[in-house]
């Protein structure tokens, strides 16, 4: 079994590929898919929800974003 990696950043395209694999599975399982790609199942659920609501734009990282569009020091 693979060990969990901390803070692995994935591109929106990588996330979309994982979600589409899950959606096309005849017997989809959050845990099975999350374990295969070494991500938390709760995080995968968030990706799926965002993807279904907003498409690939919902999978773009919001890290470092502020409501003002720039970071305050």
pLDDT tens profile 10-49: 999 999 999 999 999 999 998 999 999 999 999 999 999 9
Is residue 4 pLDDT above 70, yes or no?
Answer: no
Instruction: Give pTM, 2 decimals.
Output: 0.74
Average pLDDT for 50-68? 81
Q: For residue 23, give the nearest of 54, 4, 45, 1 by alpha carbon.
A: 45
pLDDT at 68 over 60: no
């Amino acid at each position: 079994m693979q060990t969990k990696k901390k803070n692995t950043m994935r591109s929106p395209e990588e996330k979309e590929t994982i979600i589409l694999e899950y959606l096309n599975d005849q017997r989809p399982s959050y845990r099975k898919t999350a374990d295969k790609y070494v991500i938390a199942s709760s995080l995968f659920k968030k990706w799926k929800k965002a993807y279904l609501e907003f498409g690939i734009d919902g999978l773009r990282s919001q890290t470092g974003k502020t409501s003002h569009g720039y970071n305050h020091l």
